[in-house]
């Protein structure tokens, strides 16, 4: 009897452990959707004629306000901690939203030039819209926050390919949802946003793998007919 018990433990426990950890991966692989159908930027004017669109893109969205030159710290933190880590992923982009003013565009161009020696800026997008358009886009996030008087925000946001705002249902520090990530804090970007970006990208990789598996199965079944 002891022999069978030992054999049962040796065979059953690994299966139980696998099912336990597999269910845990499934539970945590998806980053929560906090707001659906966020506004788009395709009607905004992009710097140097670039094309900007949130559809079918994994986007980090920022609001740098009337004077982006004063947001160099935020831009540098986001660039070093988030953009440089993830910009090589397909469909990733960083979009900075600004009011459409001549002096604002000049400062945005200077900021882009200043960041250029640090990394490939090909997926940094600066877009300009009316003050009303900037406000409408920000409040479409449903983030329970406010824009500053210069139409800037210290938080940056994760938008998925379906234009949903992603974040955390519950933040350990505040006890409430985490809609955006404070770009003034390297600790927040390091300890929260990087992890959440990894979860979102893993979610899309898993979806692509499943689609590939289905395609291979369908192709095999057709060949067998």
Q: What per-residue confidence (pLDDT) applies to 174?
A: 87
Q: What is the DSSP letter of 183?
A: T
pLDDT digits (tens, 9 = 90+) for 30-42: 999 999 999 999 9
Q: What is the rounded distance in angstroms from the CA atom of residue 16 to the CA atom of residue 22?
A: 10
CA 130 – CA 5 distance, rounded (Å): 73
Cβ contact 157:141 at 8 Å: yes
Q: What is the pTM of this model?
A: 0.81
Q: Which residues make Cβ contacts (< 8 Å) with residue 33, sequence separation at least 6?
A: 160, 164, 165, 166
Give pLDDT tens digits for 106-140. 999 999 999 999 899 999 999 999 999 999 999 99
**Tokens standing for residue 30:** 């998806």
With 0-12 CB in 10 A as exposed, 13-18 as middle and 19+ as buried, what is 201? middle
Helix (H, G, I), strand (E, B) or coil at 158: strand
What is the maximum alpha-carbon separation in the chain?
A: 84
Query: SS3 of 29, please?
Result: coil
Q: What is the average pLDDT score of the chain?
A: 86
pLDDT band at 210 (very low <50, low <70, confident <90, very high): low
Band of residue 48 on the pLDDT scale cut at 50, 70, 90: confident
Task: Tell me what pLDDT residue 211 has.
Answer: 56
Strand pairing partners for 59?
Answer: 93, 159
What sign does the CA torsion over 80, 52, 203, 171 have?
positive
pLDDT at 81: 96
What separation in angstroms does the CA of 112 have from each of 116, 189, 220?
A: 6, 21, 49
**β-strands 58-63, 92-99 pairing:** parallel
Mean pLDDT of 64-82: 96
Q: Which domains does the chain have, with CATH numbers?
A: 33-210 (3.40.30.10)
Q: Are 204 and 162 in contact (CB under 8 A)?
A: no
Handedness of CA 172, 77, 161, 141 (dihedral sign): positive
**Which class for 135: exposed (0-12), middle (13-18), buried (19 or more C-beta within 10 A)?**
middle
Comparing 24 with 84, the larger pLDDT belongs to: 84
Please report the pLDDT score of residue 61 as a whole number.
Answer: 98
Work out the average pLDDT over 179-183.
Answer: 97
Mean pLDDT of 54-67: 97
């Amino acid at each position: 009897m002891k022999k069978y018990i030992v054999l049962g433990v040796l065979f059953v426990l690994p299966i139980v452990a696998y099912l336990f950890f597999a269910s845990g991966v499934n539970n945590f692989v998806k980053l929560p959707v906090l707001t659906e159908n966020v506004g788009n930027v395709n009607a905004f004017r992009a710097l140097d004629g670039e094309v900007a669109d949130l559809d079918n893109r994994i986007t980090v969205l920022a609001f740098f306000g009337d004077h982006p030159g004063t947001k160099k710290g935020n831009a540098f933190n986001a660039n070093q901690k988030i953009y440089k880590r993830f910009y090589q992923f397909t469909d990733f982009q960083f979009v900075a939203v600004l009011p459409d003013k001549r002096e604002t565009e000049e400062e945005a161009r200077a900021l882009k030039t200043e960041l250029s020696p640090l990394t490939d800026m090909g997926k940094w997008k600066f877009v300009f819209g009316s003050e009303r358009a900037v406000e409408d886009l920000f409040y479409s996030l449903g983030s329970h926050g406010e824009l500053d008087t210069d139409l800037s925000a210290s938080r940056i946001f994760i938008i998925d390919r379906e234009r949903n705002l992603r974040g955390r249902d519950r933040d350990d520090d505040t006890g409430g949802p985490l809609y955006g990530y404070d770009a003034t804090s390297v600790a927040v970007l390091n300890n929260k946003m990087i992890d959440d970006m990894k979860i979102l990208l893993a979610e899309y990789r898993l979806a692509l793998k499943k689609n590939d598996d289905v395609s291979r199965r369908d192709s095999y079944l057709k060949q067998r007919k």
